Amino acid sequence: MITTRFAPSPTGNLHLGNLRSCFLNWIYSRKNNGKFILRYDDTDQERSKEEFVLSIASDLKWLNIDYDETYFQSKRVDRYNQIFDQLISKKLVYPCFESNEDLEIKKKLQLKAGKPPIYDREALNLTKADIEKEILAGKSPYWRFKLSQNKVQWNDLVKGKTEVDLSSQSDPVLRRADGSYLYHFPSVVDDIDMKITHIIRGEDHLSNSAVHLEIFQSLDSQAPSFGHNPLMLNEDGTKLSKRNVDSISIKKFREQNFSTESILSYLYSVGLNADYSFKEISKKKYVDFDLSKISKNLPKLDLSKINHFQKLTLRTFNLKELLDEFNNLAQFNIKETEWSLIKNNVDKYDDILEFLEIIRRKRVEKTPSDMFVKLLLANLNKFDGLDFEGYTKQLIQLDSNLTKKDIFINTRYLLTGNDNGPSVKDLFEYYGFTEIKNNLNDFKTL
């Protein structure tokens, strides 16, 4: 069975950048009737927060991104210790005792000499006696994985044939001196235990994937297939950073009353140049979804496209779908006829409340001209039963100086008292001439 996973670190909120990989893994598993796992990479106990665990789960639920199993790496440390002992016995990892200051000095000397700043493997020269001496002196070792330093190749699900030269990388630290694990080792152990078959993530993980392939091999395990999607950039082409991701967090979009559909449709469009309703795509069981079709170019964040999908989504909702999406609208007691009147003019959530106030005459800011009011009052019996076109023609017959623009503006003011709102024709058909008659009562003293 195809099994994918999303492994967020609960150190911050979900945002469009990290959600994209989650989205791709989820679609891939659902398209192939597979399994999708949520796995919290919470081994960094200082930075991992329960509030972010709850936030991530809430955002995924809101997005209707469902998962079959949930794991916390912090609860699997005994398993990591057990497997790590196997690497020690196989001599595939080695103890090191340099301090951070020692490593920084080495790095500066290498750079000064024009050499790449990678670990020099000096700890491999330590004898058993040397190691015992360090331990007796009160030092605890941290452990590095010994890379092959070969070129690692694989057929990437997104990028095609891919190669990473491990000779240009330091042997990665798998376990700290305090016994806690860094990203690489728990990730591979979990992928083995959870039978992950496909891993889709950002291309910033290319070198990590090469390292992981060797760790899989060292544990006598078949590696999953990898796919690396191009990273999303800011609108100005700069990299997303922790400083600016809050502005594109799912929490922020929810607070701004964006629809679930608008976010999902946008995520699907990124790199696929698609402009489809995600609802329609999901109905087709993602049949057209193909990782190899994702553009190799770095996509730029496009908030205008999210607004575009928001507009399209809002205008397709019936009243029940609207109220299901935005529970807070229930307090406004929207009628089906009211929603039908305004929905094709709505671009964003705030428009809904604005247009409701307008058609309910709660934003009366404009009044029709005295001349227009007097003309209608003097000829009320000539408009009964007329549709909008007939109403317009009748007015022009009564006063040939009237333009259609005059009629539209003054009719709008009579019906809503506002410049904004649905088309005048739609307003007329919704209210009928009876409403104009009623509102003319306010001007009978002219």
Q: What is the dihedral of CA 93, 94, 98, 104, to 10 degrees?
A: -40
- Domain extents for the chain? 1-89+152-158+180-316, 90-151+160-173, 317-360, 364-443
Cβ–Cβ under 8 Å, residues 35 and 24: no
Fold annotation for 364-443: Arc Repressor Mutant, subunit A (1.10.10)
Average pLDDT over residues 324-334: 96
Burial class (CB in 10 A: 0-12, 13-18, 19+), 149: middle
Residue with tokens 């452990």: 143
| Number of Cα atoms under 13 Å in the Cβ half of residue 157 | 19
| Number of Cα atoms under 13 Å in the Cβ half of residue 27 | 25
User: Fold match between 90-151+160-173 and 364-443?
Assistant: no
Rg value, the chain, Cα: 32
Question: What pLDDT score does 436 carry?
Answer: 93
Task: Give Cα separations from 323 to 83, 112, 317, 349, 352 (angstroms).
Answer: 51, 64, 9, 12, 12
pTM above 0.85, yes or no: yes
Whole-number Å distance between alpha carbons of 426 and 415: 11
Cβ–Cβ under 8 Å, residues 267 and 248: no
Fold annotation for 90-151+160-173: Glutamyl-tRNA Synthetase; domain 3 (3.90.800)
Nearest Cα to 35, choosing from 46, 24, 26?
26
Helices (H), strands (E): how many in the chain? 19, 10
Tell me, what amino acid is at 103? L
Whole-number Å distance between alpha carbons of 302 and 299: 9
Q: How far apart are the first and last CA of the chain?
A: 79
Per-position DSSP letters for 279-332, written without gaps between them: HHHHHTTTTT--GGGS-SSPPBP-HHHHHHHHHHHHHH--HHHHHHH-GGGGGG
Task: Give Cα separations from 228 to 108, 210, 349, 363, 431 (angstroms).
Answer: 32, 12, 35, 52, 56
Question: What pLDDT score does 446 carry?
Answer: 58
Question: What pLDDT score does 369 carry?
Answer: 95
* Least-confidence region, from 24-38, 40-54, 140-154, 308-322: 40-54
Question: What pLDDT score does 442 carry?
Answer: 85
pLDDT in tens, 196-245: 999 999 999 999 999 999 999 999 999 999 999 999 988 888 888 777 78
Whole-number Å distance between alpha carbons of 184 and 446: 82
Task: Give Cα separations from 260 to 213, 290, 324 (angstroms).
Answer: 36, 22, 11
pLDDT in tens, 376-385: 999 999 998 8
What share of the chain in percent tops pLDDT 90? 85
Whole-number Å distance between alpha carbons of 387 and 410: 17
The residues facing 36 across adjacent strands are 4
Count CB atoms within 10 A of the CB of residue 321.
15
Question: What pLDDT score does 246 carry?
Answer: 85
Q: Token digits for 207?
A: 């070198």
pLDDT band at 283 (very low <50, low <70, confident <90, very high): confident
CATH code for the domain defined by 1-89+152-158+180-316:
3.40.50.620
Whole-number Å distance between alpha carbons of 366 and 117: 71
Per-position DSSP letters for 104-161, written without gaps between them: HHHHHHHHHTT-------GGGG--HHHHHHHHHTT---EEEE----SEEEEEETTTEE
Nearest Cα to 312, choosing from 342, 348, 269?
348
Average pLDDT over residues 101-118: 91
* Least-confidence region, from 2-16, 290-304, 432-446: 432-446
pLDDT in tens, 165-188: 999 999 999 999 999 999 999 999
Question: What pLDDT score does 237 carry?
Answer: 85
Tell me, what amino acid is at 56? I
Q: What is the dihedral of CA 170, 176, 179, 183, to 10 degrees?
A: -60
pLDDT band at 445 (very low <50, low <70, confident <90, very high): low
Edge-to-edge strand order for the sheet containing 69-72?
3-6, 35-40, 69-72
